[in-house]
Amino acid sequence: MEQIAPAEHIALRDVGAKATVLIGEGTLMGITGVNGLAAISFIQVFDALIANVTLGTTNPDYEFPVPASVGTVLPFSASGVKFRTGIVVGVTTAEKGNTAVAAGFQAFFFVQ
């Protein structure tokens, strides 16, 4: 039986505009988002390199709403989700939006 390696923890503080979580192939095991803002925020996740993502134009591979002033653990399967190119994230004020949220949104990613 193959041993499963523990996930690495990557923290993005005050994330808004697009940011790189991982370059290259990897598995996203989970995301925890903490929305310290007074409005809903949307985490957009892309299987891409940062240069190939334009918020509001590039369709996200995954998108999760996070209600105002709460933290949330986002649902993933036990085996995670495979990304082939890289993991890029942006947090916006609207679904598939292009306006990044202000400081106050924390995101924590668990990748293998």
The residues, any chain, with a CB within 8 Å of residue 24's CB and separated by 6 or more, are 85, 86
Place 7 in a pLDDT band, splitting at 50, 70 and 90. confident
The half-sphere exposure of 32 on its side-chain side, counting CA atoms within 13 A, is 7
For residue 76, the model assigns a pLDDT of 87
Res 1 pLDDT > 60: no
Res 86 pLDDT > 70: yes
d(CA 45, CA 51) in angstroms, rounded, equals: 14
8-111, what's its fold?
Jelly Rolls (2.60.120)
Place 55 in a pLDDT band, splitting at 50, 70 and 90. very high
d(CA 20, CA 49) in angstroms, rounded, equals: 8
Place 75 in a pLDDT band, splitting at 50, 70 and 90. confident
Section 45-74 average pLDDT: 96
Domain boundaries in the chain? 8-111
d(CA 84, CA 37) in angstroms, rounded, equals: 32
| Cα radius of gyration (the chain) | 13
